[in-house]
Structure 1
Amino acid sequence: MATQLIATHRVNAEIYHGEDLCKQKSLELLDEICLPNGLLPLDQITEVGYNRSTGFVWLKTGKKKEHRFEAIRRTVSYESEVTAFVEKHRMRMVTGVKSKELFFWITISDIFIDENDSAKICFGNPSGISRSFPVSAFQLQDEEQEKKDGDQ
């Protein structure tokens, strides 16, 4: 389904290829929409696309990835294709992202900064239930950010 959605938004999209460039563009995108730069800790990104007229974004990776956000003690699973419609402080209609709650994987469909408390980021699922966490839990660590800046 994600592949079909990507195909419909390719026309007029900015499309980037190559692991280093795609990683850079994914970080720039998060910065542009004012979301924490560690929110999409993906490796081996092979394609990033952004259709500014529709707000549709996609990231393709070589494989599925699980990442543990230690600050909140949560494991998040990223499929090989992650898509979303983006706007300032928000990613909506997200596909390809799940969070592990106890023994269950919960689909994440909405990610946004709480308008009443900009230090909180909220994650919603399709049933309308959401959870909030500190934005700082999704920021890249200083040394990791310095390494990325030094590589440029």
Structure 2
Amino acid sequence: MAEKEGGIVKKGHEEGTKMAVALLEEFGLPLGLLPLADVIEVGFVRSTGYMWILQQKKVEHNFKMISKLVSYDTNIHGYVEKKRIKKLKGVKAKELMLWPPVSEIIVDDQPTGKIHFKSLAGITKTFPVEAFGSGQ
């Protein structure tokens, strides 16, 4: 795929997870935002901000602090920039009986401590950023 050209790629769960966490940290995103399991590959193209994550199976994670169930597909990709992920694919958050895809994630500058999730349907949900801290 053209998007992946010139990308740094890490294979395997340990190396891939390390890279994903390092990218979240670098761009000011909560470290628990991507609870990954059985990572096959993580890649990042610095010139465009394009990031991809391949994992062996879908992961469902419940963020306990906000009682929110989120589904992470086997193929997650989007564009990462400072405090933001846009054109995100492969992440869905349960809303009543529906699973609308999350298309954008934005972290406010301090001191609000809020993170916003936008879906393609135009719905925006806002939560405390600490709900997505490491180990949540």
| TM-score tier after normalising by the smaller chain length | over 0.9
- The within-5 A match list for 1:21-40 is 21-40=15-34
Aligned residue runs from structure 1 range 131-146, under 5 A = 131-141=125-135
2:33 alignment partner, SS class: coil
Q: CA–CA distance in 2 between the matches of 1:74 and 1:18?
A: 28
Runs of 4+ in 1 over 6 A off after TM superposition: none
- Tell me what 1:59 maps to: 53
Using a 3 Å threshold, how does the CA distance of structure 1 residues 58 and 137 change in structure 2: closer, same or farther? same
Question: Higher relative contact order at CA 8 Å, sep ≥6: structure 1 or structure 2?
Answer: 2
TM-score (norm 2): 0.95
Query: Is the partner of 1:106 in helix, strand or coil?
Result: coil
CA RMSD of superposed structures (Å): 1.4
Please report the TM-score for the alignment, with normalisation by the length of structure 1.
0.85
Cross-structure match for 1:126: 120
When the two structures are aligned, how many residues end up with a matched partner? 136
Following superposition, the deviation at residue 127 of structure 1 comes to 2.6
Provide the rounded CA distance (Å) in 2 between the counterparts of 1:10 and 1:93.
Answer: 15
**Counterpart of 2:94?**
100
Whole-angstrom CA distance in 1 between matches of 2:121 and 2:92:
14
Stretches of structure 1 lacking an aligned partner (at least 5 in a row): 1-6, 145-152
Q: Distance in 2 between matches of 1:23 and 1:59?
A: 9
Identity of aligned residues (%): 38
- What is the rounded CA distance, in whole Å, between the counterparts of 1:118 and 1:49 in structure 2? 31
Q: After TM superposition, give the deviation of residue 11 of structure 1 in Å.
A: 1.3
Secondary structure in 2 matching 1:105: coil
- Name the amino acid aligned to 2:126: S
Deviation at 1:116, TM superposition (A): 7.2
Mind listing any 5+ residue stretches in structure 2 that lack a counterpart?
Answer: none
